[in-house]
Amino acid sequence: MHYWKSENRIFKAVRKKILDISISGSIPDFLELTIIVEWYAKKGFMGDAGVSYLFKTNKGSILFDVGFGPSRPAFCHNAAKLKFHMDKKGIDNEILNKKKLIIGIV
């Protein structure tokens, strides 16, 4: 329960966008999944414990991250290699460094 209260601020920040997407009733035209971090990695990428997935649709994008974020080199290395720049997406590095679970609208 304590964890939920500390992360409730993050949930409230994206709640309206999540509700807008889910209430609209229409299904996205496409879904693109980009794996930023996983345990196993292709040559040139870094693997790490936890996962970080970027889901893109014509209705918006969601970053689902249960890894270590930028506190470990795998996330930053792979994100740069994939040309995914968090600062341009409005994702706060300070929040990512403190998180246990982040689901953010990007």
pLDDT tens track for 71-91: 788 988 988 888 876 665 555
Sign of the alpha-carbon torsion through 50, 68, 74, 92: positive
Using the predicted structure, report yes or no on whether residue 30 has a pLDDT greater than 50.
yes
Kindly indicate the confidence band of residue 17, based on its pLDDT and cuts at 50, 70 and 90: low
**Alpha-carbon dihedral 13, 78, 76, 86, rounded to 10 degrees:** -40
Planar angle of CA 75, 103, 11, nearest 5 degrees? 140
The pTM (predicted TM-score) of the whole model is 0.60
Longest C-alpha distance within the chain, in Å?
41
